[in-house]
Chains A and B, each alone.
Chain A
Amino acid sequence: GNSVTQMEGPVTLSEEAFLTINCTYTATGYPSLFWYVQYPGEGLQLLLKATKADDKGSNKGFEATYRKETTSFHLEKGSVQVSDSAVYFCALSVGAGNNRKLIWGLGTSLAVNP
């Protein structure tokens, strides 16, 4: 079946540290891959996405590359800030047309200390 596996949190880092949040998936066909972020007290926001193999999504200093050979979409940022403290969700979409579905990971909580 289709599934998304994220590394368990919480992840705690100091400001300016390098961030990696792992995400791997299983899916039939050719899924699109996404990272959403949920800041405290808010709903989810799309952070970045990639729609085909080898695509790199990027936004706000975050990057993730769609790796079909390793079925992964790891989120990275070179230098985190306190304002990056949030919960990060990896997701994939499968299917076509009216049967399209979004499959969500459990989320990884990130806390960045000054």
Chain B
Amino acid sequence: ETGVTQTPRHLVMGMTNKKSLKCEQHLGHNAMYWYKQSAKKPLELMFVYNFKEQTENNSVPSRFSPECPNSSHLFLHLHTLQPEDSALYLCASSPDKFGQETQYFGPGTRLLVL
């Protein structure tokens, strides 16, 4: 039980679809993260939120749009994706951004873009 949940666990979408990934943490943490995990590549940090404020956007294309309505919830809105966006999308949280190394991960959403 990691305390971080993600839905859906699997998603197949066409390039013209709009979908959202949801992450919820039950750990009382203030920082939340989106990562992209692709085969044969290092884990890619996409976005960081600290106390609901976005503090990092690592040159992520605008077809990925994050939203953090409160410290417990994080969304990733997807639109007009490309096949190369197919990957495992991981959400993580930590007590605060200064403690970034001790992160708690959700199980991920496996995304396939057709």
Instruction: Please give the residue numbers on chain A whose beta carbons come within 8 Å of chain B beta carbons, in ascending order.
Output: 4, 32, 34, 41-46, 49, 89, 91, 93, 97-98, 100-106
Bound-state Cα–Cα, A97 to B107, Å: 28
Bitwise, B90-109 to A at CB < 8 A (1) or not (0) is 11100001101111111110
Residues of A contacting B97 in the complex (Cβ-Cβ under 8 angstroms): 98, 100
Chain B nearest CB, measured from A37 CB (Å)? 11
Residues of A contacting B42 in the complex (Cβ-Cβ under 8 angstroms): 4, 103-106
Bound-state Cα–Cα, A32 to B42, Å: 18
* Residue in chain B with minimal CB distance to A91: B101
| Contact (Cβ within 8 A) B90 A44 | yes
Instruction: Please give the residue numbers on chain B whose beta carbons come within 8 Å of chain A beta carbons, in ascending order.
Output: 2, 4, 6, 40-43, 45, 55, 90-92, 97-98, 100-108
| Contact (Cβ within 8 A) B45 A102 | yes
Bound-state Cα–Cα, A100 to B48, Å: 12
Given A43-B90, A45-B2, A89-B43, A32-B101 contact (CB < 8 Å)? yes
* Residue in chain B with minimal CB distance to A92: B101
Among B4, B43, B55, B106, max chain A CB count under 10 A is at B43
Chain A nearest CB, measured from B53 CB (Å)? 11
| Contact (Cβ within 8 A) B40 A106 | yes
| Contact (Cβ within 8 A) A98 B55 | yes
A-B contact pairs, 7 of them (CB 8 A): A34-B101, A42-B2, A43-B6, A43-B90, A43-B91, A43-B107, A46-B102
